[in-house]
Structure 1
Amino acid sequence: MKQNRIYFILVGIMLLWGFNVPLLKIIVSTFSPVTITSLRIFTASLCVFIILAFLKLLRLPTLKETVLIVGCGLLNVVAHHYFLSVGLSMTSSTNGGLILGLGPVLVAILSIIFLNKRLTVIRMTGFVLGLAGVSFTVLAGGGGLSTINAGDLSIFFSILTQAFSFIIINKACKMDPRLLTGYMLLFGSAVLFIIGLATEKDGLASLGNGNLKVWTAFVLSAVFATAIGHMTYNYAISQVGAAESAIFMNLNTMFALAGSVLILNETVYPSHLIGLALIVSGVILGSGAYEELRRKYRRKHHYNSAG
C-alpha cells in the first residue's frame, strides 16, 4: 500500500514538472528570461528552507559540502536554468518538453563514462532510440530543417549540464539531498541574478510587464514545481529505486506535451509523437529500467517457484 502511495506521488510530481514547461514558456516570454529565472529560483529556495526548518533539517554546510554546493549549483541550477530559460524564449514548449525527456538517457550515458556502469546491448539500443527521438523532434517538428534553432540546442545543453550534476552528486554527495537542493537553489539564484544584471539591460524593468495570469504561473512554477516538486521527488525516489523512476520520467515528457497543447494551444505534429515514442522507448531501455525490472521479475518468479 505504501508503494502505491509513492507511485501516486510520483505521478503527481511528473504532472507538475510536465506542466511547468509551458508555464516557464509564459514566464520567459513575458519577462527578461535570466532575471525572472533568478527570482523564480530564489523564491523556490526560500520555500525549501522553510520546509527544511519545519522538518528540523536546517543547518550550515561544512567546507567540503560548500564546495559541492558551488560545483553542483553551477551545473544543476545556473547552467541548467540559464540554458532552459533562454532556450524556451526561442523555441516551442513542445520541442522543449520532448528534449528535456532525454535526461535519464544522458544520465545513463554519463554513468557508463564516469561511474564505470556496464554498457549492454539493450542500453546501447536505448541510447540510439533516445537520441533519434530528439533528432526527429528538432529536425522534423513541423517545418523540416527550418525548425532547428538555437533554442533547441540551448534546451539540450540545459539537460546535459543537469545530467553532469547528477553524476557528481551520485559520486561525491554525502549530504542530505533536500538540504543540498536548498543551498544549490539559493547559490544558483544569486549567480543567475548577477548574470541577468550584466546581460539584460531592462531585466528588472521587465517585471512590470506581468499580469495576474503570468504571476500565477510564476508562483505555481517556483513553489510547487521547483521547491516542493524537487524535495518530494528526492524522497519518493529513495523509496522506489532508480529503475521505477526512469519509467515515471516518461510521464513528465507526455505531460509537457499535453500542457503545451492545453495551456499554450501549440500544435503537436506527427513528428512530435514519433519523437515522443522514440524517447520513451530510449529512456526505458537506456536508463537500465528494463533490465532492472526484468531482474526483479526473475527473482520474484524464482522465489515463487522455490516456495
Structure 2
Amino acid sequence: MKNVKTYCILVAVMIVWGINVPATKVLVTNFAPVTMTALRVFTAGLAVFLFMAAAKKLRLPTAREAKYVFIASIFNVLAHHYFLSIGLKGTSGTNGGLILGTGPLWTTVLAVMFLGTKFTVLRGLGLLLGFTGVSFIVLQGSSVSGIAPGDLLVFLSVLVQAVSFIMVKRLTATMDARLITSYMMLMGSSMLFVIGLIQEPAGLESMTHGTPQLWAVFFASAIVATAMGHMLYNQAMGVIGAAEASIFINLNPCFALLSSVVLLDEVISAVQVLGFLLILAGVIFGSGAAEDLIARQHKRRHKGKRELPVE
C-alpha cells in the first residue's frame, strides 16, 4: 500500500492525457495545426526547462548525448506531432485516442528488434490482438479506398514516436529523462515551427483569432498535459519501475474515448468498443505486463511454500 499515492498520480496523468486527445482535436480544428502544435510543444518544453533550472538539475548534454537528443527530437516531436496534428484534423477524437493507445505495442516490436527484448508467445499474441483492434477501428471509419487518411497519419505518429523511445532508452543511462524531454521539445518544436511557416503562411495569423476559452485549452494542454504530465509520469516511473508504470498507459485510450464523448459529443460504436478491448488486451500481453504479473504471482506462491512451517 506504500505506493498508493504514486498509483493515484499515474491514474490522474492518464486522465489528463486522455482528455488531451479531444482537446488537441479542438485546437487543430480552430488553429493552423502545425503552427499551433509547434507553439504548444515549445511552451511545454520551456516549462520543463524552467522547472529543471529551478531544481538545479539543468546541464548541457555531451556531444554524444546531443546527437541522440537531436535525432530523437526529429522522431518524438517533429514527425510525431506533425503527423498527429494533421491526422487528428482528419479523424475523430475517439479513433485518434484508440490508435494512440497502441504505442506500447510498437515500442515492444522495436525493443525486440533493436534492444534484445525477448519475444515470447504471449507478446506475439498481444501484437496480433492489438493489430486486429486497430484494424477494426480504422476500417470502420474508412473511406472508399480502405483507410481514412487521418487514421493513417495518427498511426504513423505512433510508429515514429516508438522509434524515438528506443533512442531515449539509450540516453536515460546518463541523462535525466525530464531533461531529455525538455531538450527534445525545444529542438523539435523549433523545427516544426519552420515547417509551419512554410506550409501555413497564415499560421501565426490564425493564432490571433483564438478566444479566451481556446487559449485556456492551449495552455492547459501545453503545461498541464504535456509538461507536468510527462514530469509526473517520469517521477512515478522512478518510484515503481518502468514496467509497472507502463501498465497504466493502458488506461489512456479509455479516458480518450470517454472524454471525446463528453467534450466532442461523439458516439461510441460497438466496433470501437470491441477495438478498444482488443487493443487493451494486446497492450497487456504485448508489452510484457501479463508476463510480469504471472511471474510475480509464481514468485509469491513459491516464496509462500518455502515459508510454510515444518511439522
> Is this a same-fold pair by TM over 0.5?
yes
TM-score range, shorter chain: over 0.9
- Partner residue, 2:220: 220
Contact 1:246 1:283 in 2 (8 A): no
Query: Structure 2 vs 1, CA of residues 145 and 139 (structure 1 numbering), >3 Å: closer, same or farther?
Result: farther
Alignment of 1:7-26 (within 5 A): 7-26=7-26
Contact 1:43 1:222 in 2 (8 A): yes
Counterpart residue type for residue 234 of structure 1: N
- Partner residue, 1:52: 52
Distance in 2 of aligned mates of 1:2 and 1:43: 34
Counterpart residue type for residue 264 of structure 2: L
- Flag structure 2 segments of 5+ consecutive residues without an equivalent: none
1:31 aligns with 2:31: yes
- Partner residue, 2:96: 96
1:139 aligns with 2:139: yes
Scaled by the length of structure 2, the TM-score of the pair is 0.95
- Partner residue, 1:201: 201
- Partner residue, 1:87: 87
Counterpart residue type for residue 156 of structure 2: F
Distance in 1 of aligned mates of 2:63 and 2:286: 36
Q: CA deviation at 1:147?
A: 7.6
Contact 2:65 2:171 in 1 (8 A): no
Q: CA deviation at 1:172?
A: 4.3
1:295 aligns with 2:295: yes
Q: Secondary structure at the match of 1:204?
A: helix
- Partner residue, 2:184: 184
Counterpart residue type for residue 168 of structure 1: M
Q: CA deviation at 1:244?
A: 2.3
Contact 1:129 1:282 in 2 (8 A): yes
- Partner residue, 1:261: 261
Counterpart residue type for residue 222 of structure 2: A
Aligned length: 306
Q: Secondary structure at the match of 1:290?
A: helix
Contact 1:130 1:280 in 2 (8 A): yes
| Coordinate RMSD, CA, aligned | 1.4
Distance in 1 of aligned mates of 2:274 and 2:59: 47
Distance in 2 of aligned mates of 1:305 and 1:46: 53
Greater shift after overlay, 288-297 or 170-179? 170-179
Contact 2:97 2:256 in 1 (8 A): yes
- Partner residue, 1:156: 155
- Flag structure 1 segments of 5+ consecutive residues without an equivalent: none
Query: Structure 2 vs 1, CA of residues 4 and 82 (structure 1 numbering), >3 Å: closer, same or farther?
Result: same
4+ residue stretches of structure 1 with deviation over 6 A? Answer: none
Contact 1:136 1:275 in 2 (8 A): yes
Counterpart residue type for residue 304 of structure 1: G
Q: Secondary structure at the match of 1:52?
A: helix
Q: CA deviation at 1:234?
A: 1.1
